[in-house]
Amino acid sequence: MNILITGGAGYIGSHACLEFLNAGHQITVVDNLSNSKFESLKRVERITGKQIQFYETDILERVKLNEIFSKNKFDAVIHFAGLKAVGESTKKPLEYFQNNVCGTINLCEIMKKHDVKNIIFSSSATVYGDPESVPIAEAFPLSATNPYGRSKLMIEEILRDLYRSDEKWNVVLLRYFNPVGAHKSGKIGENPNGIPNNLMPYISQVAIGKRKNLQIFGDDYPTKDGTGVRDYIHVVDLAVGHLKALRKIKDNSGLKIYNLGTGNGYSVLEMVKAFEKASHRKIDYKIIARRSGDIAECFADVSLANKELNWKAKRNIDEMCADAWRWQSKNLNGY
């Protein structure tokens, strides 16, 4: 199929590009490189020996986006483009709504104009807010605790309404849990700007000596060891989940929503231990106060994706840490 991948130069997008190319699809990436480097795509081309058509374009640029759709006949769009830093979103809510929500509306309008009505959207477990229980199933109540999460919820609603207005649309909302790890080659991986917000890239930077120690946000949660528990999922498993979702779309599946996680919860301290084992480096840490907005525990019920997409995450926590370490240790300063 001929696929447009927005945000394809980013962390998850670049891994998805690789899997889509290897599966024989033709791909075009639209990315404004606001949080990524073109180098990621060059490396994907080198690993796969296949080519990517690239446009350095903002999805807010209607005229350019329209031109891209006029020049290409896409079968489906995988929509990763978006801003994703929770803390930053509380300081710059308008930028987040403009970029994520208006960007998606723009994209969908142009898709509609060109009669491209298949879209897979990167949603997030953040749409479950603070869940009443775990594991979290797709039918759980939705809420948002910050502008980033609200932008994801709004986009989900917009895409639902779009489908209700015209059932020729096929929409798959994929709610990712905590993506970590990197491609086995060690050539592509997560490349955060500045101080990482997320646990895994922070631990990796402590391991290479770029940061002195990890600050663990609270050890008084009602969890196995008091630290926060999350469902970490290998980014390659996540990328494969998109391939399966695309297959689903081919059967005119309508509106579908799936959690993409492993179904297992690991604490911050368990992650530190697993990373030490993978890297043979000591990860110094200190416990500090809880981070505002954090929840105690979050992991997925993945039975729906297992059943309907025939998808299951295969890579365990040791592989996630080993692959993250390979990427980080071979690319001390990222791309």
Residues designated catalytic: 148
- Strand 214-217 and strand 76-79: the pairing is unpaired
Name the binder of 116 from ligand WQD, ligand NAD, none, CB < 5-8 A by kind: none
Whole-Å CA distances, 322 to 179, 183, 327: 14, 10, 9
At CA 264, angle to CA 263 and CA 266, rounded to 5?
Answer: 145
The partner in contact with residue 35, picked from ligand NAD, ligand WQD, none with C-beta cut-offs of 5 to 8 angstroms by kind, is ligand NAD
Question: Which residue intervals of the chain are DSSP H helices?
Answer: 11-22, 39-48, 62-71, 86-91, 93-96, 103-113, 147-165, 199-207, 235-250, 268-279, 303-304, 317-330
Quote the least distance from Cβ 54 to ligand NAD, whole Å.
Answer: 11
Q: In this structure, what are the phi and psi dihedrals at residue 89, rounded to the nearest 5 degrees?
A: -65, -25
Residue 118 binds ligand WQD, judged by CB under 6 A: no
84 binds ligand WQD (CB under 6 A): yes
Q: Which does 268 bind (CB under 5 to 8 A by kind): ligand NAD, ligand WQD, none?
A: ligand WQD
- Please say which residue, 59 or 272, places its beta carbon nearer to ligand NAD: 59
Distance of closest approach, residue 12 Cβ to ligand WQD, in angstroms: 10
Q: For ligand NAD, what does the binding mask look like between residues 175 and 214, x meaning CB under 6 A?
A: -x-xx-----------------------------------
For residues 295 and 333, what is the distance between their CA atoms, to the nearest angstrom?
Answer: 31
| Residue 228 near residue 268 (C-beta atoms within 8 A) | yes
Pairing mode, strands 178-180 and 266-267 = unpaired
Kindly list the residues in this chain that would bind ligand NAD in the complex (CB under 6 A): 6-7, 9-13, 30-36, 58-60, 80-84, 99, 103, 122, 124, 176, 178-179
What residues make contact with ligand WQD under the rule CB under 6 A? 84, 86, 124, 126, 178, 197-199, 202, 214-217, 228, 230, 268, 291, 294
